Structure 1
Amino acid sequence: MTTHSPEIREALRAAARWLALVDSGGASAGDLQRLEQWRTSSTLHEHAWQKALLLRQRFSALPGAVAMATLDRPDAGRRALLKQALGVAALLPAAWLASRELPLEAWTADMHTAVGERRQVLLSDGTFVQLNTDSAADIDLGARRLTLLRGEVAVRLPGHLTLTLQVPYGQVALDAGEVCLRLVDQACRVSVLKGTANLQPRQGPALLLQAGQQASLQVAGVGPVTGLDAWLLGWREGVLRLEDRPLGELLHELRRYRPGVLRWAPELEALRVTGTFRLDDTDRVLALLAASLPLQVHTRTRYWVSLAARENRA
């Protein structure tokens, strides 16, 4: 994992705070002037700011180039343009932006994806790695270790290799198999597709999972072993396949692949849905749902969409 001096870490955190203020739309002319002074006071500050802009664009799909071009020449007219552009682009309420703040380690990860993006790579030793939406991972082949920092990863190992998968709650030892790891609240869901995986929590005994099984790896132990939720693994092919599942399950998953806000009326969650939905066009998925279920889509902006029960008209 990449490490940073305290000075670099503080500069990156400061850049993130400045960017959150600018993106909120509430930055005053004085704020923008102080930002410019902060940027020009140190090459370290300017480097951190440019990195924040780049990563904001990569992770949240906002028009970072607009902000970069405007702030590079901070005269009054361009400041006004910036506020106008961000106002139009907002698109995203401040609360959502705050929820998308990235841990520092994810900013410098070896692999990372934006919201809605998926990546795959074949490593030099034959290991196949897939990274799901809004995820980040570090890879150290010399130490035979992959560290999942954020989101979800799938790993397939050739028959002669082993790999340790590190997460905040412990580690997973994989020997010539295929697994999927997903970080959730205070746990990591481990799904074994092929071979076996040994789950070692930070506290408590280890547990060996077989192919077709999944369990929750937590700091204090491993949760109950169950069968795979196979539909949750379809992202590796870019689809979600559901057979008579609650609509709420699909919507919660779909929200992970859309930048911005996706909301829905609670009563819609009980509707049942069957189908195969492609993750590379979530707008089309919503349109298909509206065509087949008693719901309607209200699009305030590309980044703010809500679903409501369809009104019955006599």
Structure 2
Amino acid sequence: MSRTPADVARAAAHWLALLESGTAGERDHAGLQQWRDSHPQHEQAWQKAQLLRQRFADLPSSLAMASLDRPQPGRRAVLKRALGVAALVPAAWLLSRQLPLDVWRADLHTATGERKRVPLVDGSTLQLNTASAVDVDLAARRLTLVEGEMALTVPGTAALNVHNRYGQVIASQAEVCVRQLADACLVSVLKGRVQVLDGHGRAAWVQGGQQIRLQPVGLGAPMPFDVQQLGWRDGVLTAQNQALGDFLRELDRYRPGVLRWDPSLETLRVTGSFRLDDTDSILSLLATTHGLQVQFRTRYWVTLQPRKTLG
């Protein structure tokens, strides 16, 4: 599955934070090396992370020195907190430098795991999914999806134009979702019909119950889709006999931090509806129903493995 530069930056930041925390073991170092070797962008991001670690090299020692003046019983806890802060500073700096500037400048945005519903003054309703950003210019009847995923309900006949990296969507008296992927944009129509234009000026009409992919090479063919795929609008993630690996990759979008799983779990099947408000509970439920073990290294570093049996 392709990932955006922001995804790669987040992963590099999390690897950096883990190594700086002092809790990384041999498996973590091996996992980092595997991640670095899996794509040239990963190695580039990691080299930037290393440069940042050198830039902030003096910070841990200064924080540790300050903690030595505290009474003995609290010194260990203070030092631990100080080193934790020191580890997070370069990671956060890396993330902020790698995320596109237009994401930070967007009119509306959501953090990882956050969803937002925004009524617009023209009577339309805009919903933002996790880690999304949208610019709004109602005077020009234009929205721009900068990052992530949005749902738009336009009850009136005055069309709203949704721009994205690979084209635009023109919607009136319709309900549509637009998701920006790393190498495409997925347009899903729930009600009514919308016009979709690619970057080459070609156009297609997409009916309710259909979705279409906008790509650099142009438009794909409209295809039917399962509306349950868009359950995030109601705070629900739904799977119907879905591969566990695919389900976890989707769940990962809603969890800050790093979610990893043993490759042997990829082909297990998942069916059910899960509330996105508590992703820890989703992991616990998966562990119960599929015989898994959930290891929380920290709140933001979680690994799923097959449950060990006593033999």
Fold shared, TM-score > 0.5 on shorter chain:
yes
- The 2-side partners of 1:155 and 1:171 are apart by 13
Deviation at 1:23, TM superposition (A): 8.5
Deviations 1:222-271 (A, max 9, x none): 12321124232000000012222211121011100111000011121111
Change (3 A) 1:122 1:151: same
- In the other structure, the counterpart of 1:47 is none
Give 2:286's aligned amino acid: L
Which of 141, 146, 151 is equivalent to 1:149?
Answer: 146
Contact preservation (8 Å) 1:247, 1:271:
yes
Change (3 A) 1:87 1:145: same
Query: Residues 32-71 of structure 1: matches in 2 within 5 Å?
Result: none
**Is 1:219 matched with 2:213?**
no
- In the other structure, the counterpart of 2:303 is 306
Change (3 A) 1:164 1:271: same
Deviations 1:197-231 (A, max 9, x none): 11111115211111100011113211232112423
Change (3 A) 1:300 1:90: farther
**Is 1:27 matched with 2:56?**
yes
Which of 179, 189, 197 is equivalent to 2:186?
Answer: 189
Dislocated runs of 4+, deviation >3 Å: 20-26, 30-33, 80-86, 88-101
**Is 1:170 matched with 2:167?**
yes
- The 2-side partners of 1:210 and 1:241 are apart by 23
Can you give the 5+ residue segments of structure 2 that lack an aligned partner in the other structure?
Answer: 1-48, 70-77
Aligned residues: 255
Which of 261, 264, 268 is equivalent to 2:261?
Answer: 264
**Is 1:129 matched with 2:126?**
yes
- In the other structure, the counterpart of 2:290 is 293
Change (3 A) 1:123 1:109: same
Contact preservation (8 Å) 1:204, 1:220:
no
**Is 1:77 matched with 2:66?**
yes
TM-score under structure 2 normalisation? 0.73
**Percent sequence identity over aligned pairs:** 52
Deviation at 1:26, TM superposition (A): 6.6
Which of 171, 177, 181 is equivalent to 1:180?
Answer: 177
Q: Which moved more, 1:94-103 or 1:238-247?
A: 94-103
TM-score under structure 1 normalisation? 0.72
Change (3 A) 1:194 1:218: same
Contact preservation (8 Å) 2:171, 2:193:
yes
Can you give the 5+ residue segments of structure 1 that lack an aligned partner in the other structure?
Answer: 1-19, 34-69
- In the other structure, the counterpart of 1:114 is 111
